[in-house]
A = this chain, B = another copy of it.
Amino acid sequence: MSAQAPVRRSRPRGRPARDRSVCSRELGDAAITLFAAKGYDATTLKDIAEVAAVDPSLISYQFGSKLDLWKAVIVDVGDQLRAKFAEIRRATQGDDVEPAMRRTLADIVHFMLEHPRIAHFMARDTYRDNERADWVEEKLAGLLFDYLRPALDQLRAAGRLRPGTPDMLLLHFNYSLSFSIIRRERLVRAAPELADDAVFAAELTTMLVGSILRDD
């Protein structure tokens, strides 16, 4: 867990700052790793406390409940995504809308490949109508949609998008990206060349960018 959002969000008054930040990084790393690997239901606060080597009561003290800790983890993952978007926006400033979109989509594919845990959160819990589905929608998937939609609307008006509404194309992009990462082993069994990281990244980028934008 890179940022310390969870701690800042539920800061217990009066604890010294240094202790807090150390605990938070360990706790946050343990939480994000276990939730991503095992899912919400199969992860217990006791597991997280064990991996983080802290007392379980500390988690309850800082976060209240498993759901609150999970929400803090998602907010933190969202912060990473938002930081990436800000970086992409700076890098593509001044580019025309279509080359900027190609580069943006490619950058998102690479970022997700470097942070495979985000793919697990994107793919997990998003198909059920419960509080966690709404949270992932709002704090993760929604960020992607909000970030990309204005440029996609522009490209659609210019006839440069493949068939489908912008949101449909984005949903397609988002789930295909997440599941390609999660199910990579399966893909490698069918096409061993995908075991090479560079080949996998290139194939995935070409496929996904080409599923949103028309060929030249």
Contacts and interface: CB of A to CB of B under 8 A. Distances in A.
Nearest to A174: B179
Nearest to A173: B176
A215 to B, nearest CB: 8
A127 B137 contact: no
A63 B42 CA distance: 25
Interface in A13-56: 39, 41
Interface stretch (A2-10, A85-93, A99-107, A200-208): A200-208
Number of identical protomers: 2
A215 B13 CA distance: 62
Given A167-B186, A168-B191, A127 B206 contact: no
Interface in A162-198: 162-169, 171-172, 175-176, 179-180, 182-183, 186-187, 190-191, 193-194
Nearest to A199: B165
Nearest to A163: B206
A71 interface: no
A210 B137 contact: no
Contacts of A82: none
Contacts of A207: 162-164, 168-169, 172
A91 B43 CA distance: 48
Nearest to A202: B163
Provide the main secondary structure of the chain A interface: helix
A172 B147 CA distance: 22
A2 B41 CA distance: 31
A120 interface: yes
A80 interface: no
A179 B187 contact: no
A126 interface: yes
A76 to B, nearest CB: 21
A39 B42 CA distance: 14
A143 interface: no
Given A162-B207, A167-B186, 17 more contacts: A126-B179, A127-B179, A127-B183, A162-B211, A165-B187, A165-B194, A166-B190, A167-B187, A167-B190, A167-B191, A168-B180, A168-B203, A169-B207, A172-B172, A172-B176, A172-B207, A176-B176
